[in-house]
Amino acid sequence: MYSLTVRDHVMVAHSLPRPAFGPAQGLHGATFVAELTVRARELGENATVLDIGVLSGLLGEVLDGLRYRNLDEHPAFEGKLTTTEALARHIAEAVADRLEPGARDRLVGVAVVLRETPDAWASYSLDLP
């Protein structure tokens, strides 16, 4: 199995309004490092999983919709908690939705690791049909 990973970061504001989240219940800022990985069984015609620039652009496009936003007011998260895990899933699914049909047909998976700190992160993996 081949894989390609690109990385970017995003600064957001959000709250996690449940007692389980302690001081994070209130509105606060967060900077996440997002690592996006795509997997393929075989390489494409250019001996790559996908063009690095294309994959970086897709990740940047998805993150641009989140940058400097208060996720409590973002329509995609209405009525949802914006935990690190939930954000990782949102990013993975949004990238998968933006893949060109040719690339989507070759790829078998998309995964996002979202690092909240160097010592804490969450991830979400999406298998593609």
Element (H, E) at 106: helix 101-106
Mutual angle of helices 84-98 and 52-64, in 10-degree steps:
130
Per the CB < 8 A criterion, the answer to whether 66 and 41 are in contact is no
> What's the one-letter identity of residue 123?
S
Could you tell me what percent of the chain has a pLDDT over 90?
95
Distance from C-alpha of 31 to C-alpha of 12, rounded to nearest angstrom: 6
Mention every residue, 6+ apart, whose C-beta is less than 8 A from residue 50.
Answer: 4, 38, 40, 44, 103, 107
Helix (H) or strand (E) holding 54: helix 52-64
- The reply to whether CATH 3.30.479.10 applies to domain 2-127 is yes
Q: What is the pLDDT of residues 18-75, one digit of tens each?
A: 999 999 999 999 999 999 999 999 999 999 999 999 999 999 999 999 999 999 999 9
The whole-model pTM stands at 0.95
Confidence of residue 5 (pLDDT cuts 50, 70, 90): very high
Average pLDDT, whole number, for the chain? 96
